[in-house]
Structure 1
Amino acid sequence: MNPNPPIVCHKAPKFSTTGIWLGQNPLDYSFPLLTLQLALVFTTIRIIYFFIKPLKQPRVVAEILGGIILGPSVLGRSAAFTNTVFPARGTQVLDTVAMFGLMYYVFLIGVKMDPTLIKKSGRKEILIGMVSLFLPLIVVSAISFPLRPFLPKDLQNVGLLIFLAALLSVTSFAVLVPILYELQLLNSEIGRLAMSSSVLSDICGWMFMATFIVMQASSVSAMEAVWALLSLIAIVLFIVLVIRPASLWIIRQTPEGKPVEEIYILMILVLVCVIGFLSDMIGANSFNGALVLGLALPEGPPLGSTIVERLDCIISGLLLPLYYCMSGLKTDVSTIQNLGTWSFLQLLLVMGCLGKLLGTLLPSLYFKIPFREALSLSLLMNAKGVVELITFNFWKDIKLLDDQAFTILVLSTVIITAIVTPLMRILYEPLREYAVYGRRTMMNSNPEADTGILVCIHNQSNVPSLIRILEALHPTSQSPISVYVLHLVQLVGRSTPLIITHNLSAAPPTTRGSNQSERIINAFRIYQERHEEGASVHPFTAIAPCATMHNDALALALQKEVSFMIIPFHKQPLVDGGIEHNSNIQAMNRNVLGNAPCSVSILIDRRVEVNLCPQSDQVSYNIGILFFGGDDDREVLACAARMATNPSVYLTIMRFFHPDSMKDRSRDRRLDDEIVTNFKSVNMRNDRVVFRESVVKDTEQIVGAIRSISSENYHLLMVGMRHERSPLLSADITDWSECPELGMIGDLLASQDLNSTASVLVVRQAHVRANPNLNQVPRANIIESYGGQNSLHREQGEESSVRSSIPGSSVRSSRASTLDLV
C-alpha cells in the first residue's frame, strides 16, 4: 500500500444553489451535480441497453459499458466534459451513494438467498460445485506461481496471485441469480443445479475472504490477526444468535395477511448500516456484513418479501447500476501499456475459464446430463458480475491493483459476461425438455389404467369448480384417476424457486405462510376421501417467478406422464361483480399451450355454486358440449365419454353442421362421424345424455346459437379450442377475439356480453411431435374404449376406422337425438 497517497485540494462543498438567474452555476454545488450525474448515468445505460438487448446481452454489460463511455476511456478524454460533469470534488459524493446502494443490494441478495440449499444439495450438486471450484483454482495457481519471477513487479504479490486464482474459481450466487432471472431460467433444471452448486462455491469464497482479512492483519502482528478473526466471529454470532431470533419474533407478531409494521422494517434497515459499519471497522468490508445479515433473515413472506418489495426497485433499478457505472468510470483504456501485464492477466483469465468449463462439464457428463445442457451449465458457471467488481475495486483502493491491472480485469469481466450470456440463450432452451413423441390425451388414455390429470391453481377460489370437474369424470376402481394438484405461488422475497411435495396422509402443518396452500390441500384431501377407491391426489406447491411459472407445470406434467391438464383463465370474477385481469397468468397459459406434453384445458370459472355429490341422486351437474369437429372437439367428446358414466351428470351434446357438410369427405370429417356414431350408439339407452344436431349457415347463426345455449341452465360448457378447418367458422370471428388462446368459440363463450352463469372448459388436444429416432411416426391414436371389452385402434392408411365403446350402456331408458334447423 502506498504510504504517501496523493493529496487533492478543492473548495469546501456547498449543497444547494440559488439558481442561474442570480449568477450561480448549479454544477458548483453538490446536490444539483449529483442529480445531473444520476440522470446522465441512467439515461446512458438505458440507451446502451436498448441497442445491445437484441444481441441477447444482460443489463450488467450495458451498466459497465455506460461507465466506460462516460469515463476517461471515451467521453472523459475531454477535459471540459470531465471537469463539468464528473469533477474530482463530485466523485466522492457519487462514490458514497453508489457504495450505499451496493451495500443494500448485497443485503437484498442475502434476504432472497435460501441457505437450506446446502442441506438439500445432493451428490451431483456437491461434486459439480467442488470440481468446478478446485480445478480452475489448481490450474490458475499452477500457471501463476512458476511465472511469478518473470512478472511485472506490481503482479508479484503472493497474496494477489492466491486471491486472484480464488476469485476466478468461485461462482457467486449473487452473480448467477440476476443472470438466471434475466434468462428466465430460475426454475429450470439447469438454473436449480447452478444455484445449488454456486452456494457451495460461495461458502469457499467466504472462507477465502476470512483468510484474506486474517492475512492483512497478520502483516501488522500476530495479535492483530487473532483480534481480526475473533471480531469477525463475534459479528456473525451476534447476527445468528440475536438478530435472527428477533426476526422470527417479528414474524410471529404479524397477523396472517397483514403487512409487517413499519417500525420493524425501519429497524432492520438501520441494522444494515450498523452491521456494515462494524464490518468495515474490522476490515471485513461492509458488503460481507450486509450479506450475512440478509442470510439470517427468513426469506419469503411476510418479512423477507416486504423488505424486497420496499427496496428492490430503487436499489436494483437505480443505485446498483450507479455502482457498475462507477466501476466503468474508473476504467481507463489508455493505462494499458505494459504488454507483460496484459498478457499474464489474459492468460490467467483464459485458463481460469477453461478450468471452470472442464470442472463443470466433466462431472455433469459423469451424471449423464446431456452434453448440450452440460455445456450450458459450464458457460453459466463462468459468469462474472457484481462480486468480481466489488473485489477489483477493493483491491484498487488498497493499492493491490494499479490502474492498468484494474482496467484489464474490468474489461475482461464485461467480455466474459457478454460472451457467456448469448451462448447460453442459443444452447439451452428449457422448453425443449417438454417435447414428447406421440400423444398423451384423454382419447388415448386407457380407461382401465390410472389416468393422470394435472390441475394448476393460483388461488383457492378456483378449487370448487376444479373439484366438480374431477368428480364429473367419475373416478372408480375400474377407471381410476391420479390427480396432481399444483399450487402456483409467485416468488417474492427470495431468489431460489421451490417445489414442495405435500403428504396427504400427514397431519396438516401449522407453519405460518402456508395457510392458503393447506386450505387447497385439505379440499382435495376431502375429495380423495370421497373417492378413495378411484382417485389418488398428489399435491405440490411451486414457488417461482411469474415469467417462468409455466416451467414447473410443464415439468410436472412430463414427469408424471399426465394425459390432461386444467389451468385457470387469467380473468377472474370479483365479489363486487368486476373482473380481475392478470397478464402474468395469461402469459403462463400461452406458454403452457404452446409446449405442453399432454392435452390442456383452460377453465373460465364463473363460480356456479353446485355441490356435486356422485353418491346422491338429489344433486345433478348439467354439462353442455359444443361439437364443431376437429381434434380438440374429439378430445372433448372423450372427456364426455367418462362423464356419461357418472349418475349425477347430465350431458347435452350439440353438433353443428354446415348445409354443404354432406359433401365433405375429408379425413377430419370421417373421424368426427365415426367418434360421434360410436358415442351415440353406446349412450343410446342413457337417459342422461341428449344429442342435438343443428344446421347453421354462417357466423351470425353460430353466434345466435351460442347466445341461446348460454341462456340455458348449464353448469359447465365444454368446447374444443381450434376449429381452423371447420367450414362453419370464418376468419371474421378472429377479428372479434379478445383472447386468441381460447380459440374462436371459446372466446365467444368467455365473453361477458353473454351474461352466462355457466363455467367454460376450453380443450386443446396434444399435438404429435416428430420423433427423429423413428423412420415413420404412427398415425394418431383414436379414442380408446371405456367399459366392456377395450381395444386400442390406430389409423391404417387413409381408410382408418374408429371403434370404441363408451360406458353407460347399462342405463335402461334412452333419449332420441334431435335435428334442429337454425
Structure 2
Amino acid sequence: MSRYSGLTTYVKHGELRNAHPVVCFSYQEEKRNHNIFSKDNNDNPLKFIFPVLMLQIILAFVLSRLIYLLFRPLRQSKFVCNVLAGIILGPSVLGRNKKFMETFYPAKEMQVLNTLVKFGVSYFVFLTAVKRDTASLLKIARNAWTIGISGYMIPVAISFFFNSTVEYHVTGCFGRGFPFPLVACPLTQSSFPVVANNLEEQDLITTELGQLAMSIAILSETITNVISNIFVVVIIFTRIGSYLAAFQIMFLISAVILFAIYIVRPTVLQIIKRTPEGKSVQEVFVVTVLLLALFMALIADILWGAFIPGAVLIGLAVPDGPPLGSTIVEKSELIVTEIFLPLFYIQIGYLTDMSSVKDMNSFLVFLLILMLLHLSKILGIMLISLFFDIRIKNGLLLGVVLSFKGVEDFSFYERWQQDKLLDKQCYATIVLFCLFLNSIVCPLVDILYKPHVRLTTTYHHTKALRLRTLQSTPKDVELRVLSCVYHEDNVHGLIALIKAFNPNKNRAVCAYVTHLVELVGRAAPLLIPYNKHRRRFIPKNSHHIMRAFNNFATDNNNSSGPITIQSFIAIAPYKSMHNIICNLAQDRHIPLIIVPFSGNQEVNRVQNSIRNFNTMLQEQASCTVGILIDRGLCLRMINLNRHFKVAVLFIGGADDREALALASRMSGSPKVGINVFKICCKQEEGKVCGVEKQLDEISLKEFKEKNVGNACVVCSEMVANNSLQMMDVVRSLRKKYNLVIVGKNLRRTQFEKEMMQWVEYQELGLVGDVLASSDFCDISVLVIKHSELDKSNNNFCPSCREKLR
C-alpha cells in the first residue's frame, strides 16, 4: 500500500460510511534499512519512525540539560527547565516552522512517542509508590491532619464561588456540565511524589519543613484519591443503565485491589524473608515485580480507563527500603527519570500551543481563578499554622512548598485534554500557570528558608536555641555526646574515646549513638529510636552496632562510672542528613557531636558524600563538632597499663579553647596522661585581637588552676614563627601519643595562610590535615570545630562573654 492520508470511505452491508482520517504506510517499507547510501534517493532516514524517535530523545535530553545549566544560577528546578525544553521543541516555538514539525513530530512518530511516555510515567509512579511509607510519615507530624485538611478544603470552598464564572466566561474548559469544585481538587492538590522530589532536589527533605510538607502531601493525595474513587462509583451507577453491568465493573475493580493486598503483598514479603542477611534479592524477583507493575497498569487501563492506579497498587505492595525496594529503585530509577521523563516533557510541549490563546478575556479570567485558588491555599495553610505555633514565615513557606507542580499533575491535565474537558487554550493556560508557579516557588524557598531555624515560635523563644559548647557546660554535670556511626568499623574508636572522657559518679556521660544510613529505596527520611524488636525500619548491621555500645555501657557502669546509651537510626541522604543531626543535638541539649573521618587514598562516591556531610555539620551545628581519625584507638587504650597519652596543641582561637575544655574534662582520670603544648608565634602577637588573646589566657589559666598537683597533666610552651617550625612541632608528636586533640581553624597566623593551599582535607584544617597523612599512622586525631553560628554573635559563646565581664 502506498503512503497517503485523507478521508477514506468504505461500504459495509450495503451502507456507505465515512471513517476517520488515517495515515497509511507500508510495513515492509518501514522494515527496510534506510541510509544515505541507499539507491533510492527518496529514502530519507528522517521519514521513518526509529531515526526520528532517537532524535526526539536526544533533543529532549540535550536541550533540557542545556536549559538547566543556564537557569540553575537562578535557582530553577529541573522540572521547570524540562517543561521549558518541551515547550521550545513544541508548536509554540520551533514547531512554528512547519518543516521542523513535519520532520520531528509527524503523526505516526507521535503515536510511538506517546506510547513510550505512558510507559515511562507508569514506571515513575510505580517507583514513587515503592519509596513511599505513608504510616511513618503520618506519625512524624501530628499537625499534618489539621493543616492538610484545611489546605485541601479551602480552595474547594473558594471554587464554589467561581463555578458560574467558569461556566459563562471561560470557554472550552470543563464542559458538559462538569462541576468546577470537583476540578479544583486535582488542580490544587499536593502530590506526594512531586513534593518529595522537589524537596530532595533542594536538599530540604530532612528539614522540619520538609518532613511536615511530605506528611501533608500524603494526606492531601489520599483525600483526593478517595473523593475521586467515590466520584467514579457515582458515575458508574448513574451512567450505566444496567445495575448488573455496574456491579460487574465494581467487582472487577475490587478484585484488582484485593489481588494486590492479599496475593502480591504476602508474596513479596516471603521473597524478602527468604533473602539471606546482607545479600541482595535475586534478579529474577526484581524483573518479575517490574513486569507485574506493567501487567497491573494494563489491567487498570482496561477497567479504570487509566493505567496509573494499577502501577501505584503494585508499588504500595512492595515494602520500601532494602532489600527489594532499594534494589528496584537502584536498577530502574536512572533510566526512568533521565530518559523516559524528558519524553513526557516533549509531549507537554507538543500539546501546549501558545498560538491557541486567542480569547484573551477567557484566558485572563481563568488565569486569575487559578491564582486565587492557589493563593487561598497558601494563605489558608499559613493562618492554620499559626495555631500550632509555627512561625508565620515558615507557615507561608509551608504553603508555598505544598504548591509544587510535577509529573502527576500534568498527567491529570493531559487526560483532561484527551477527554475533551479542556481545549488547547485552557490547557496552555494551566501549563503556563504551573510553570510560572514553580519558577517562583523554588527560588523563594531557597532564599527564605533557613534549616537551622526551628519551625515553631515556642522553640525559638526558649533557651534551647542558645549555642552549646564544652566551655559553657559545667564540669560537674552530665556530659552529653552525640556519636555518629557510619559502619561497624567506627564502633571501637568511638567507644574508646567516650571511655577517655572520664565518666565517674560525679560526672556521668550520656552518649546518643546514631547509626547513619544512606536513604535508598525510600522517599522520606527517618529518625527513629532503636528498638531491637522493630524489624521493619532497622538495618541489619544496626543491631550489631547498638549491641556493642550497650555492652560497653553495662561493663563500664560496673567498673569506672555511669555511661548511658540512647540509640537512634537516621535514614536520609548524606547531602542533607546534617539537618537531622543538628535538630537532634538541639532537642537533647548536646554540646558535642563526634563523627568519624572517612577519607583515604581510594576516594569513591560514598566517602565524598560522608566528607560533605562532615563539612555541612561543622557549618550548621549549633554546638561543637569533633571529627575522629581512628588509628587503633581502642587497642592502644586496652594495651596500655598506666596511661592513655593525649596531646593538645593550643595555638589560640575558639576551636583551640574548645579542645582545651575537652582535655580539662579528661584530665580527671588517673589513667589518662595529658600534655598541653602552648605554641607561641612571636611575629603574630601584635596582630592578634586583644579580646581573643585575653580569652586564650583565661582558658589556659583555668586549666592550669584545675590541674595543680595533677601529675598526669603537663603544660609546656613551644615557639613556631614559620611553617617549618610548626611542622617540627607536629613531627615531635610521632610515636609518643595515642591521641592528639587539635582545633580546626588556627588564629589566622601567617604560616596558616602559606600552607592552606596544600591542605587536602579542608574539614580537618591545617594541623589536622598534616596529622591525617600516612606519616602519622600511629596517632589517632580528634579535630575540634567550634560552632560556625557563633559568627552571628561576635564569635563568642555565652561562657566567653561571661569571662570577659
Tell me how far 1:119 sits from its aligned partner: 5.1
- Quick check: 1:115–1:295 contact (8 Å CA) kept in 2? no
User: For residue 24 of structure 2, what is the amino acid of its counterpart?
Assistant: H
State yes or no: 1:675 paired with 2:694: no
- What residue in structure 2 maps to residue 25 of structure 1? 44
**Aligned pairs (5 A) from 1:433-472:** 433=454, 439-472=467-500
SS in 1 for 2:398: helix
SS in 2 for 1:623: strand
Tell me how far 1:475 sits from its aligned partner: 1.4
Partners of 2:649 and 2:768 in 1: how far apart?
10
**Aligned pairs (5 A) from 1:210-289:** 210-217=229-236, 218-223=238-243, 224-289=245-310
- Quick check: 2:652–2:747 contact (8 Å CA) kept in 1? no
- Quick check: 2:679–2:720 contact (8 Å CA) kept in 1? yes
- What residue in structure 2 maps to residue 302 of structure 1? 323
- What residue in structure 1 maps to residue 740 of structure 2? 717
SS in 1 for 2:452: helix
- What residue in structure 1 maps to residue 5 of structure 2? none
SS in 1 for 2:178: helix
- Quick check: 1:779–1:794 contact (8 Å CA) kept in 2? no
User: For residue 716 of structure 2, what is the amino acid of its counterpart?
Assistant: R
SS in 1 for 2:143: helix
CA spacing shift, 1:739–1:573, aligned 2, 3 Å: closer
Identify which of 36, 50, 59 aligns with 1:40: 59
- What residue in structure 1 maps to residue 14 of structure 2? none
- Quick check: 1:721–1:764 contact (8 Å CA) kept in 2? yes
Q: Which moved more, 1:659-668 or 1:685-694?
A: 659-668
**Aligned pairs (5 A) from 1:156-167:** 156-159=175-178, 161-167=180-186
- What residue in structure 2 maps to residue 290 of structure 1? 311
State yes or no: 1:794 paired with 2:803: yes
Tell me how far 1:222 sits from its aligned partner: 4.8
- What residue in structure 2 maps to residue 633 of structure 1? 656
Partners of 1:524 and 1:653 in 2: how far apart?
30
**Aligned pairs (5 A) from 1:14-163:** 14-15=30-31, 17-22=33-38, 23=41, 24-117=43-136, 120=139, 123-145=142-164, 148-149=167-168, 152=171, 155-159=174-178, 161-163=180-182
Q: Alpha-carbon deviations, 1:625-661, whole Å to 9, x = none?
A: 2222222222211111111111221222222223568
The number of residues matched between the two structures is 771
State yes or no: 1:745 paired with 2:800: no
User: For residue 746 of structure 1, what is the amino acid of its counterpart?
Assistant: G
Tell me how far 1:584 sits from its aligned partner: 0.9
Q: Identity over aligned residues, as a percent? A: 32
**Aligned pairs (5 A) from 1:326-725:** 326-433=347-454, 439-502=467-530, 514-532=539-557, 534-571=562-599, 582-610=607-635, 612=637, 618=641, 620-658=643-681, 666-710=690-734, 712-725=735-748
CA spacing shift, 1:415–1:696, aligned 2, 3 Å: closer
Tell me how far 1:682 sits from its aligned partner: 3.7
Partners of 1:68 and 1:170 in 2: how far apart?
24
- Quick check: 1:467–1:524 contact (8 Å CA) kept in 2? yes
- What residue in structure 1 maps to residue 6 of structure 2? none
State yes or no: 1:189 paired with 2:208: yes
- Quick check: 1:483–1:535 contact (8 Å CA) kept in 2? yes
Q: Alpha-carbon deviations, 1:45-104, whole Å to 9, x = none?
A: 112222222221111111111111111111111110011111111110111111101100
**Where does the alignment leave 5 or more consecutive residues of structure 2 unmatched?**
1-16
State yes or no: 1:319 paired with 2:340: yes
Q: Alpha-carbon deviations, 1:243-283, whole Å to 9, x = none?
A: 11111111111111111101001100110111011000012
Partners of 1:443 and 1:720 in 2: how far apart?
14
Q: Alpha-carbon deviations, 1:418-463, whole Å to 9, x = none?
A: 2222222222121344998754211111122222211112112111
- Quick check: 1:635–1:763 contact (8 Å CA) kept in 2? yes
Q: Alpha-carbon deviations, 1:114-147, whole Å to 9, x = none?
A: 1214651654110011111111111112321465
Q: Alpha-carbon deviations, 1:734-761, whole Å to 9, x = none?
A: 1211122211111111122x14221100
Tell me how far 1:560 sits from its aligned partner: 1.2
- Quick check: 1:160–1:400 contact (8 Å CA) kept in 2? no
Q: Which moved more, 1:554-563 or 1:522-531?
A: 522-531
SS in 1 for 2:268: helix
Partners of 1:459 and 1:587 in 2: how far apart?
17
- Quick check: 1:232–1:284 contact (8 Å CA) kept in 2? no
Partners of 1:185 and 1:373 in 2: how far apart?
13
- Quick check: 2:53–2:109 contact (8 Å CA) kept in 1? yes
Identify which of 725, 731, 742 aligns with 2:753: 731
- Quick check: 1:396–1:402 contact (8 Å CA) kept in 2? yes
Identify which of 16, 25, 45 aligns with 1:11: 25
- Quick check: 1:16–1:29 contact (8 Å CA) kept in 2? no
- Quick check: 1:16–1:32 contact (8 Å CA) kept in 2? no
User: For residue 668 of structure 1, what is the amino acid of its counterpart?
Assistant: E
SS in 1 for 2:576: helix
SS in 1 for 2:528: strand
Partners of 2:541 and 2:797 in 1: how far apart?
44
**Aligned pairs (5 A) from 1:751-762:** 751-752=773-774, 754-762=775-783
Tell me how far 1:779 sits from its aligned partner: 7.3
- What residue in structure 2 maps to residue 790 of structure 1? none
Tell me how far 1:767 sits from its aligned partner: 5.4
Q: Alpha-carbon deviations, 1:461-506, whole Å to 9, x = none?
A: 1111111111111112211222212211111001011111125xxx
Partners of 1:423 and 1:777 in 2: how far apart?
29
Tell me how far 1:705 sits from its aligned partner: 2.5
Partners of 1:508 and 1:690 in 2: how far apart?
49
Tell me how far 1:169 sits from its aligned partner: 3.4
Tell me how far 1:681 sits from its aligned partner: 4.2
Q: After the TM superposition, list the runs of 4 or more consecutive aligned residues in structure 1 that deviate by more than 6 angstroms.
A: 434-437, 578-581, 661-665, 776-779
CA spacing shift, 1:706–1:147, aligned 2, 3 Å: closer
Tell me how far 1:663 sits from its aligned partner: 7.7
TM-score normalised by the chain length of structure 1: 0.88
Partners of 1:83 and 1:709 in 2: how far apart?
76
CA spacing shift, 1:653–1:579, aligned 2, 3 Å: farther
CA spacing shift, 1:352–1:569, aligned 2, 3 Å: same
CA spacing shift, 1:4–1:758, aligned 2, 3 Å: farther
Partners of 1:4 and 1:359 in 2: how far apart?
54
SS in 1 for 2:590: coil
- Quick check: 1:476–1:531 contact (8 Å CA) kept in 2? no
Partners of 2:452 and 2:520 in 1: how far apart?
24
- Quick check: 1:571–1:580 contact (8 Å CA) kept in 2? no
**Where does the alignment leave 5 or more consecutive residues of structure 1 unmatched?**
784-792, 797-822
- Quick check: 1:573–1:579 contact (8 Å CA) kept in 2? no
CA spacing shift, 1:628–1:226, aligned 2, 3 Å: same
- Quick check: 1:64–1:328 contact (8 Å CA) kept in 2? yes
Q: Which moved more, 1:271-280 or 1:113-122?
A: 113-122
